[in-house]
Structure formats: structure tokens, C-alpha cells
A and B are shown apart, each in its own frame.
Chain A
Amino acid sequence: MILLRPTTLQQVQEKQMTEQLLTGNAAAAWGARLAAVDYIPAFPITPQTEIIETLGGWIDGGKMDGRMVTLESEHSMITAAGAAAATGVRVFSATSSQGLLHAMEMLYTVAGWRAPFVLVNVSRGLSAPITLGADHSDILAARDSGFLQIHCADCQEVLDSVLMAYRLAEDPAIRLPVLVNLDGFYLSFTREPVSLPDQSTVARFLPPFDAQNIHFTASAPQSQAVAVLGGSPYSYFRYESHLAALNGIDVYQQVATEFAKLFGRQWDAVENYRADDAEIVFYMMGSFATKAKEAVDRLREAGQQIGLVRPRLLRPFPAEIVAGLLAGKQGVIVIDQNLSMGQGGVLHTELTSSLYGKPEAPGIIISFIGGLGGRDISAEEFYEMVSITRKAIASGDTPKPRLLYTDTELREVRKLQAIAMVEQEETSHE
């Protein structure tokens, strides 16, 4: 039984004034509005469209300053976003899935311009087959682009992360664009209570963009994004971007500390949920981590020492923080909501490589693929993964990666195939 803290009438009223039921998409739009963005190049794509519709509505209704323009593609949208940021205004944009991939050339390009802005990605599985449900194959395809990446698990986190992302992007030690990720449907269209920070406190946390040397003006001509000849200057500028991204780990910690002081919410680079004394931990990103937390609580009630470690910051990768949280664990269950064909889960690959050779690294790190295209991961599957991990710890043998799929699902797919076969046979006789 949970004991509620006694609250005064005034506290209840304040809470009602600032807390609203918002979808993840609306929370992202609120983040952009509170960040007082100047410019929003846009292009519609499911499940992101609500973000730009919300912002467009506010701008048309006079509730928000800023200029929004709908481009003719995501490739052009990211070009316009980078070009505007390179001219010195605060830019916001949003996309999903195929849109992110259509813009891929420009993601790499504008990151190389060192043009700071924030792009929200609403994760959705990639074609083919074309689908709408969420997974992380889209956002992880942008992993090496030079954008920093923050991954969210709930709607409040989406709003707060957009604000923090501007601080990261615009920091003079970084100057790189930032992707904030939320899962399609599970967050984009799910309403949760979200506390709206007041504009004046946000303005203290996030003052107007000080573009400094980033500009195009007649009095100070500048060439940006020029070609280089040869590997030496090329390597120099690529190394510079990498080192700037790495600066993001320390800057992130400062930003998160400041955010917690002003708004009372602590968003660590890596979330530690009941992991301190855990023997086995789940390691995963995004909204399905909330399902893992539920499983952790149930397993704890059953007397098992289980926890969750959830990276929020994926780029730069906070390797030392992750290694610290996982030090001495008996087993790690890595759940990848993505699939690198012919290799496996991206998180698993990254985690094992970053832990290799560390003296207190867990001996058993098992890869599970699940949640592709919005497929659920059930509580029973979380329990089963723990049971598999216990056996592996006892035997000392790490099992092969598992692709989560149930007998029931397979039966359902067989039914679809049967229908397809019947239709094919029937129509082929005509």
C-alpha cells in the first residue's frame, strides 16, 4: 500500500495548473515552444505529424513566435534546418523512420557544419516491409552521423530532454545537433501527466541562442562547409567533431544537475533503477524500459535481486558510467529493439565492446532481440529472460542471441500465410 503525502489545497491547485495530460508528441512540441525556437522546417510523417501540427497551430493562433515552413522532403528539411542554424537562429525539427533515412545524407552533412539544433525522432520500424509500429532501427541508423542522441522512456522525459538538448547542442564546447528520440505510438500517442515548466524558469535554464561565430552577414563574410583536399585536413575536422561529441558527457552532467536544481527532476545520462544491489540487470532503451521496470518490481517482490540500467545518452556513449553501474553484476540481459542484419543487436555489440577487458565486467551478457515494429514484450518474456540468464550464470556458458517470438505469434503468422496461399491458388485458377 502506498501512503500519499498530505497536500494542501494550494499545492493541488498549483499541480493542476502546471500538470497536463499530454501525448509524447505534444510534450515534444511543448519542449520546442518553451525553448522559444525561432525556426521550424517541417515535413509530415506518421507518427511524428502531431508535433508539427501542434506547433503550426500555436504559431497560427499567435500563441508562439517563430516561423514554420513545410519543405518538400525530409532531405530538404534537414538542409534548411542546418542552413538556418548555420545562420545563427534556434531551430527545431521532427521526423520519423523513412523520413530520417531520406534525410540521412544531410544528417551527416549538417553535423559536419557544426550547426547546433534539435531534431526529434519518433521511432518507427523501417521498410521493408513498410510498417508503422515502433522500433529503434531508424534512430540507430543515424548513430554515427555526428548528432548526439538522447533516448526517452516517458512523456515528461521528452519535454525535459528537448530543453536539455538545446543546452547540449549550443554549448561552445560541443556545437553539434542533437536527436531526441521517443517511441512511436507507445509514447507519441499515449497521454501521460506532464508537468509544464514555466516559461521564465526555462528562460533562466536556456537563455537565447548565443551564436557567436556562427553567422552569415554582409559585414563579416564567411565560407562554411567548404571542400577539403586530402585526408589530413579531412581527418582533422572529423576528429574535431568526435572530440566535441565526447565533451558532451561532462556537459551533459552539468546540464542535468542544473536542470534538477531548477525543475526538481533528475535525468541522469544512464538511469539506474534498483540496480545497485542487483545480481542481474536489464539493459535497454526507450519506452519498453518501463515494462522492464514493472518486471523488476515483480521479480523483487518474489525475492530476486534484479535491476535495470537504461542509457538515455547514447551519443556520446557514457562508457565509464555504464561500466560503473554494471561492475560486479553476475549477468546482463541486453534487449535490443533493433536488428543489424547478419550481426544482431546494436546495443549488445556496443556494450560488450565497451566492457571488454574491464576487471569487474559481468561474465554473462546475453543478447535478446524484441519489440520490432511495435511487437510487445510481455512480463512473462522478461521473467523467462531472467531464468535463461540464471542458467547461463550457473553453467558459465553464454547462450546464442535470442529472437523473441512466441508459439502463439508463429501460429498467427501461419494463419496469415495460409490465407495468402489459398488466395494465390484460387486466383491462379481464374
Chain B
Amino acid sequence: MSEQRIKRMKDLPSTHLLGAGTPMCSGCGGLEALHQIYDVLGEKTVFINAAGCMTLLSVYPFTPFRGSWLYTAMASAPAGAQGVRDALDILLQRERISQEDDLDVVVLTGDGSAYGMGMSATSGAMDRKLDFLYICYDNEGYGNTGQQYSSATPHAALTATSGGSRGYPGFKKDLFAIWAAHSPAYVATVIGSEPLDLARKIEKARQMQGPRMIIALSPCPTGWQYDPKESVNIGKLAVKTGVWPLKEFVDGKVVHTRIPRQRMPVEDYLQLQGRFSHLFKPEKNASIIAEIQARVDSYWDNVV
């Protein structure tokens, strides 16, 4: 299946490979994205996991994966991918396993690992042009421990460790730019609520060699404080308001795959989430909302 062949929703894989009944929260935007990613990647994969929500996917003796899995630690999943990839290459080269037994090596971490503790290992893996796929499910905080702020947390968001009237004082780190600065084969942002865009990017990445880096914004009912049924809606609003730009980096260039020409106001995205409720109640904090809107506008002003 080539990327060009995924044109319409009906071109998406019709068989679903990831098992049901995982301990993820209902409405988990990360699991929504992973389902779709796994359908494209298939079962000839080994997932190398770092500490985070998705570590709980594989709890002895159960796993939703049809392929393989290795849990490492919070900081070094890309180094685990290095060891497995190198070992598979050695085994193939010495004909100790057949070509059919080869696996795609996929790193799976949250934003806590990707934006922070695991950044050095990720940088090293890209420096070494490791042939692997990195999936970061980004729910903008240390979700598995109860949503403390991470360097992926957006400005003004309430978290378990930024509960003041102004929320998180910092700004979401631009991981896309940091990864792209390493010139890997591919970097892309995706979101589960845009399945066609997601599948095209994962299929494109699947067919490439070298480091292929994916950041999936993952609406999080428990961390962002909203009704689980709103996950897809919030995901769509993240794109339509321009808060989450869908883009890819290939051959040294950044290309936006969806440009919302008539962007909806960020307020529409913010007001559905309890983590931004302090911007609306007891009274509207127009200045912070305007500040967030201005940052989004400024981003898109620079997109040709």
C-alpha cells in the first residue's frame, strides 16, 4: 500500500490489529492514534517503549500487540531501538535469521520522555541515522502520574503542578523543530481525529529508511479534564483553530499538510477543556486568551 493510494477514508485499512480491552482511559487520544498507526504498520514490528501511560498496554501476561514489545525505561527507548536494530542487522547479515523474520523497530513514548528525559537518547539515535520509527503520543503533561506539567504543556494550562490562577507559566516546546534540526529522514505531526492525514504520513514513513519521527497530539480526557466523548471533537478543533499544525519535514523542507484557511478562534478549543476553565470562570481572562490567540496567529503568519 503506497501513501498515494490512501486518498479517501475507504482506502484506510479495514482490519484492526490492536487488541481491545487495554487499561488506557476511555476516550484516550493516544490510543486512538496508536490504533490507526498499528493498522498501517502491521504486526511485523517490535515496539520499544519508555515509561508512560502506554507502558500499561502490556501487563503480564497480556498484550494487545500481535507483534513484539520491549519495555526499557523512561530515558532510553531510542537506545533500546538501537540495540534491537543493530542485533537484527547482525543476525540478517550472518544469515542467522531469514529476511522474512526482520522487524520494523518502533519507539513508543509519551511527551514526558520525548520532550525531556529521553531527548538525549533520541538526539543520539538521529545522529547515528538509526533506521527506526519514533511515535510520541503527546498529551501535554506527565499523564500517567496524574498530569503534572512537562515541557510539552501549553501556556496557561492547569496541571497538578501548575494550579495557580495563570496556570502553566511556560510555553510548549517546539519538539518538531528540535527534531527537524537533526535532519532525520522524516518528521511529522499527526492527530487521531484526522485519520486520512495520519495514515498517509505513517505509510510514507513506513517506506523510508533512517529516523522517522512522529508526534501525535493526544487529547486526554483525564489530564485535560473533559468528557471522553469529546476527544475527537477536541482533536478536530485543535486542527481547525490552528493550535496543532499538521505538517511534515522531508528533504530539508517543512510542508503543511492541512492549512486551515479560516481558522476558528482558539477560544472554541480552550473552553471545552477543564484545564483552561480558569480562563473563563469566574470571569473571562481576555488577556491570556488573546495572548494564546496571538501566538497561534503569529505562527500561521509565517506559513506561506
* Chain B residues whose C-beta falls within 8 Å of the C-beta of A41 in the assembled complex: 82-83, 86
- Do A106 and B68 have beta carbons less than 8 Å apart? no
Partner of A67, one of B70, B90, B120: B90
Binary contact readout B173-211 vs A (1 if CB under 8 angstroms, 0 otherwise):
000000000000000000000000000000000000000
Asked whether A421 is an interface residue with its Cβ less than 8 Å from the other chain, the reply is no
Give the segment of A6-14, A85-93, A154-162 that binds chain B: A85-93
Interface centre among B55, B70, B100, B123 (most CB of A within 10 A): B70
- Do A227 and B87 have beta carbons less than 8 Å apart? no
**Complex Cα gap A225–B77 (Å):** 13
- Do A221 and B80 have beta carbons less than 8 Å apart? no
* Chain B residues whose C-beta falls within 8 Å of the C-beta of A89 in the assembled complex: 87, 90-91
Partner of B55, one of A39, A73, A222, A227: A227
Distance (whole angstroms) from the CB of B36 to the closest CB of chain A: 20
- Do B88 and A80 have beta carbons less than 8 Å apart? no
* Chain A residues whose C-beta falls within 8 Å of the C-beta of B63 in the assembled complex: 223, 226
Partner of A79, one of B44, B65, B73, B96: B73
* Chain B residues whose C-beta falls within 8 Å of the C-beta of A85 in the assembled complex: 83, 87
Residue of A nearest to B94 (CB): A38
- Do A80 and B86 have beta carbons less than 8 Å apart? yes
Distance (whole angstroms) from the CB of A107 to the closest CB of chain B: 11
Distance (whole angstroms) from the CB of A57 to the closest CB of chain B: 20
- Do A84 and B86 have beta carbons less than 8 Å apart? yes
- Do B65 and A221 have beta carbons less than 8 Å apart? yes
Asked whether B121 is an interface residue with its Cβ less than 8 Å from the other chain, the reply is yes
Asked whether A101 is an interface residue with its Cβ less than 8 Å from the other chain, the reply is no
- Do B46 and A79 have beta carbons less than 8 Å apart? no
- Do A233 and B60 have beta carbons less than 8 Å apart? yes
- Do B65 and A223 have beta carbons less than 8 Å apart? yes
Asked whether B32 is an interface residue with its Cβ less than 8 Å from the other chain, the reply is no
Distance (whole angstroms) from the CB of A39 to the closest CB of chain B: 6
Binary contact readout B18-38 vs A (1 if CB under 8 angstroms, 0 otherwise):
000000000000000000000
* Chain B residues whose C-beta falls within 8 Å of the C-beta of A71 in the assembled complex: 79, 82, 124
Binary contact readout A65-77 vs B (1 if CB under 8 angstroms, 0 otherwise):
0010101110111
Asked whether B258 is an interface residue with its Cβ less than 8 Å from the other chain, the reply is no
* Chain A residues whose C-beta falls within 8 Å of the C-beta of B87 in the assembled complex: 38-39, 83-85, 87-89, 216
User: Known contacts being A105-B73, A225-B72, is A84 close to B44, with CB within 8 Å?
Assistant: no
Asked whether A176 is an interface residue with its Cβ less than 8 Å from the other chain, the reply is no
User: Known contacts being A87-B88, A89-B91, is A229 close to B70, with CB within 8 Å?
Assistant: no
- Do A86 and B70 have beta carbons less than 8 Å apart? yes
* Chain B residues whose C-beta falls within 8 Å of the C-beta of A73 in the assembled complex: 120-121, 124
Interface centre among B48, B66, B82 (most CB of A within 10 A): B82
**Complex Cα gap A217–B84 (Å):** 10
User: Known contacts being A73-B121, A227-B71, is A80 close to B83, with CB within 8 Å?
Assistant: yes
Residue of A nearest to B130 (CB): A69
* Chain A residues whose C-beta falls within 8 Å of the C-beta of B72 in the assembled complex: 79, 83, 106, 109, 225
User: Known contacts being A76-B76, A106-B73, A109-B73, is A84 close to B83, with CB within 8 Å?
Assistant: yes
* Chain B residues whose C-beta falls within 8 Å of the C-beta of A106 in the assembled complex: 72-73, 76
**Complex Cα gap A101–B117 (Å):** 17
Residue of A nearest to B89 (CB): A67
- Do A219 and B123 have beta carbons less than 8 Å apart? no
Asked whether B9 is an interface residue with its Cβ less than 8 Å from the other chain, the reply is no
Interface centre among B67, B90, B100 (most CB of A within 10 A): B90
Chain A positions near chain B (C-beta within 8 angstroms): 38-39, 41, 67, 69, 71-73, 75-77, 79-89, 105-106, 109, 215-219, 221-229, 233
Q: A67-B86, A85-B87 are in contact. List 5 more A-B contacts (CB 8 A).
A: A38-B94, A76-B78, A79-B72, A216-B87, A221-B65
- Ranked nearest first, the 7 interchain pairs of A and B with the lowest CB-CB distance are A83-B83, A72-B124, A76-B79, A87-B87, A80-B83, A84-B83, A79-B79
